């Protein structure tokens, strides 16, 4: 018998999503007799303890006897149990400084860490993630912020709706002004943002039209890799080569900063990739972007004026482009930034249900039957030892 434990989120503020819903736990307990799912009691989870109990799932204060422990966000170092197998978003793949101590503890306590972010199909496509719902909430919040800035329309908050379906109903009758929205990226985040564009009946146009024409109705354009980057010498774009040699490329986004009103950023970024624009560009008199929804949310990353996370209660802050300091939002001459690291928390039940479906479909069986290439590639640490693909983190873990 293998026991799977659903962890209570320990990171503050607590995340309200969960890896498996009550119905999914019930399905596993009934359909896989060699597996038992137990749940750690939580006051913050989007599904209540009672809902799990009503589904016949055991809920208790501790799940220390679980063989495999599922969380969502980083597990605080003090809560890590020696010798266990954990699955959660560790946010250590890029050697994030804030999670070094947790990662060091994982090694010291001989834990096995399988990171959701690293679970990929053979073609590199990620298996698990909340990106679609991050895109939905991020796009909504970006348009909401523009409405707050201009006073031309009003949108309510996503978290006040019980489901994505109920959120859609709030768009009926919405009339938007002649705004132009640039959406970057082609993954799940961008797909979520595009869903909101379509639901709000914002018209898609080609990038060249977006740059050259004026419209009497709201429009958006989607900018994928080839529209954003080109090789400095060859003037071409090859995705794999770009990700292997990003320093050889430059970004082509700058013209859009002089035609877009809103930027919805959904691109993957690391420190060697060129930014979409720089601080100096933001001071140009033709810089037209007033609202930026940085959905992928890399501090000082592809969006230089991302000065750090906001939160679900106050998702938008302002930036003074001269002093480069954070201000109150909606100030004349300033730019508004929406940069929330846990956007799907505003639609937690929909997001959790989708996540659990993918977890069951692609990960659960190989996880409990001895592994697979997919599981092996996502195992960053095995019994306290860095696996070969992640040995580049040795210095990071050592604090060097």
Give the pair of three-digit tokens for residue 343.
Answer: 């956007």
**Same domain membership, residue 147 and residue 7:** no
| Residue 297 within any structural domain of the chain | yes
**Is position 124 within any domain?**
no
The burial of 262, by beta-carbon neighbours within 10 Å (0-12 exposed, 13-18 middle, 19 or more buried), is given as: buried
- Look at residue 136 in the predicted model and tell me its pLDDT: 97
Mean pLDDT of 106-129: 93
- Does residue 371 register a pLDDT over 90? no
Query: CA distances (Å), 267 to each of 191, 222, 263, in order?
Result: 11, 11, 12
Whether 187 is in a domain gets the answer yes
Per-residue model confidence (pLDDT) at position 266: 95
Based on the fold, state whether residues 176 and 262 are members of the same structural domain.
yes
Last residue of a domain, one of 327, 346, 365: 346
Query: Which residues of the chain form beta strands (DSSP E)?
Result: 2-6, 35-40, 58-60, 68-70, 85-88, 112-115, 180-184, 203-204, 219-223, 229-231, 249-251, 262-265, 291-294, 316-320, 325-327, 335-338, 379-382, 385-386
Token pair, residue 340, equals 């929330």
Q: What is the pLDDT of residues 133-160, one digit of tens each?
A: 999 999 999 999 999 999 999 999 999 9
**96-100, 196-200, 351-355, range with the lowest pLDDT:** 96-100
Whether residue 196 is found in the same domain as residue 67: no
Residue 116 located in a structural domain: no
Q: What is the pLDDT of residue 254?
A: 97
Same domain, 305 and 353: no
321 and 390 share one domain: no
Could you report the per-residue pLDDT of 7-18, keeping only the tens digit for each?
Answer: 999 998 889 999
Q: In this structure, are 326 and 388 located in the same domain?
A: no
pLDDT reading at 400 higher than 80: no
Q: How many domains does the chain have?
A: 2
Number of other CB atoms surrounding residue 282 within 10 Å: 17
Distant-in-sequence, close-in-space partners of 126: CB < 8 Å, separation ≥ 6 = 117, 119, 120, 187, 188
Q: For residue 14, what pLDDT is reported?
A: 84
DSSP 360: I
The model's pTM is: 0.89
Report the alpha-carbon distance of residue 118 to residue 69 in Å, rounded.
17
Q: Tell whether 139 and 231 lie within a shared domain.
A: yes
Taking residues 276-286, report their average pLDDT: 96
- 121 lies in some domain: no
Q: Indicate the angle between helix axes 131-150 and 348-359, nearest 10 degrees.
A: 160
Is-contact 342 312, C-beta < 8 A?
yes
Model confidence over 231-274: pLDDT tens digits?
A: 999 999 999 999 999 999 999 999 999 999 999 999 988 889 99
Token code pair at residue 162: 């019980």
Assigned domain for 66 exists? yes
Give the model's pLDDT for residue 256: 98
Task: Establish if 179 belongs to a structural domain.
Answer: yes
Q: What is the mean pLDDT of the segment spanning 298-310?
A: 93
Q: What stretch of H or E contains 186?
A: none
What secondary structure letter does DSSP report for 58?
E
Task: Tell me which of 56-60, 96-100, 124-128, 286-290 is least confident.
Answer: 124-128
Model confidence at 397, in pLDDT bands (50, 70, 90)? confident
Q: Domain ends where: 310, 326, 346?
A: 346
**38: pLDDT confidence band, cut at 50, 70 and 90?**
very high
Mean local confidence (pLDDT), 80-90? 97
∠ CA 338-230-309, nearest 5°, is: 15
Same domain, 37 and 23: yes
Instruction: Give the mean model confidence (pLDDT) for residues 102-117.
Output: 97
> What CATH number corresponds to the domain at position 147?
3.40.50.720
Instruction: Please indicate, yes or no, whether residues 371 and 270 belong to a single structural domain of this protein.
Output: no
**pLDDT tens profile 187-206:** 999 999 999 999 999 999 99
Share the mean pLDDT of the chain: 95
> What does the pLDDT average to over 58-63?
97
pLDDT of residue 33: 85
Q: Is the pLDDT of residue 382 over 90?
A: yes
Q: What pLDDT sits at residue 264? A: 98
Token couple for 284? 């140009």
310 and 259 share one domain: yes
pLDDT class of 321 with cuts at 50, 70, 90: very high
| Per-residue pLDDT at 32 exceeds 90 | no
28 and 97 together in one domain:
yes
90 is in which domain, residue-wise? Answer: 2-111+348-398
* pLDDT confidence of residue 235: 94
Q: Is the pLDDT of residue 399 over 80?
A: no
Question: Is residue 126 domain-resident?
Answer: no
Predicted local confidence at residue 228, as pLDDT:
97
User: Could you tell me if 303 and 275 are in contact, meaning their C-beta atoms sit under 8 angstroms apart?
Assistant: yes
User: What whole-number distance in Å separates Cα of residue 285 and Cα of residue 354?
Assistant: 44
> What token pair was written down for 190?
């961008």
Q: In this structure, is the dihedral angle defined by the CA atoms of residues 11, 16, 19 and 21, taken in order, positive or negative?
A: positive
Q: Are residues 62 and 184 in the same domain?
A: no
Of 307, 327, 346, the last residue of a domain is 346
Rg (CA), the chain: 22
What average pLDDT does the segment 123-135 reach?
90
pLDDT band for position 5 (cuts 50, 70, 90): very high
How high is the pLDDT of residue 271? Answer: 86
Burial class (CB in 10 A: 0-12, 13-18, 19+), 233: exposed
Residue 42 confidence (pLDDT) above 90: yes
């Amino acid at each position: 018998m293998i026991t799977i434990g659903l962890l209570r989120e320990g990171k503050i503020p607590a995340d309200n999503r969960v890896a498996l819903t009550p119905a999914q736990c019930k399905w596993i307990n009934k359909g896989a007799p060699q597996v038992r799912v137990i749940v750690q009691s939580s006051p913050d989870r989007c599904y209540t303890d009672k809902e799990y109990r009503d589904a016949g799932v055991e809920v208790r204060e501790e799940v220390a006897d679980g063989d495999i422990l599922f969380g969502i966000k980083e597990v605080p170092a003090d809560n890590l149990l020696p010798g266990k197998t954990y699955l959660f978003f560790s946010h250590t793949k890029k050697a994030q400084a804030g999670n070094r101590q947790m990662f060091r503890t994982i090694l010291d306590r001989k834990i096995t860490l399988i990171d959701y972010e690293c679970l990929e199909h053979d073609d590199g496509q990620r298996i698990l993630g909340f990106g679609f719902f991050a895109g939905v909430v991020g796009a909504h919040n970006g348009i909401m912020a523009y409405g707050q800035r201009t006073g031309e329309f009003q949108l309510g908050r996503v978290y006040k709706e019980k489901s994505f379906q109920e959120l859609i109903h709030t768009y009926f009758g919405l009339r938007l002004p002649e705004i132009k929205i640039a959406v970057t990226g082609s993954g799940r985040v961008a797909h979520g943002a595009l869903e909101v564009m379509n639901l709000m009946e914002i018209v898609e146009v080609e990038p060249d039209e977006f740059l050259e024409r004026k419209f009497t109705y709201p429009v958006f354009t989607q900018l994928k890799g080839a529209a954003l980057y080109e090789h400095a010498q060859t003037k071409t774009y090859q995705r794999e080569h770009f990700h292997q040699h990003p320093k050889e490329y430059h970004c082509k986004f700058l013209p859009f900063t002089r035609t877009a009103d809103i930027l919805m950023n959904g691109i993957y970024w690391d420190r060697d990739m060129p930014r979409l624009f720089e601080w100096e560009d933001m001071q140009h008199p033709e810089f037209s972007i007033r609202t930026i929804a940085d959905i992928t949310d890399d501090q000082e990353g592809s969006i230089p004026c991302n000065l750090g996370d906001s939160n679900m209660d106050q998702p938008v802050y302002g930036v003074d482009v001269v002093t480069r300091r954070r201000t109150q939002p909606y100030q004349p001459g300033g730019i508004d930034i929406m940069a929330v690291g846990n956007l799907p928390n505003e639609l937690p039940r929909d997001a959790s249900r989708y996540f659990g479906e993918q977890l069951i479909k692609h990960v659960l069986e190989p996880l409990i039957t001895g592994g697979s290439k997919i599981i092996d590639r996502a195992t960053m640490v095995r019994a306290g030892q860095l696996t070969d693909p992640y040995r580049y983190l040795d210095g990071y873990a050592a604090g060097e």
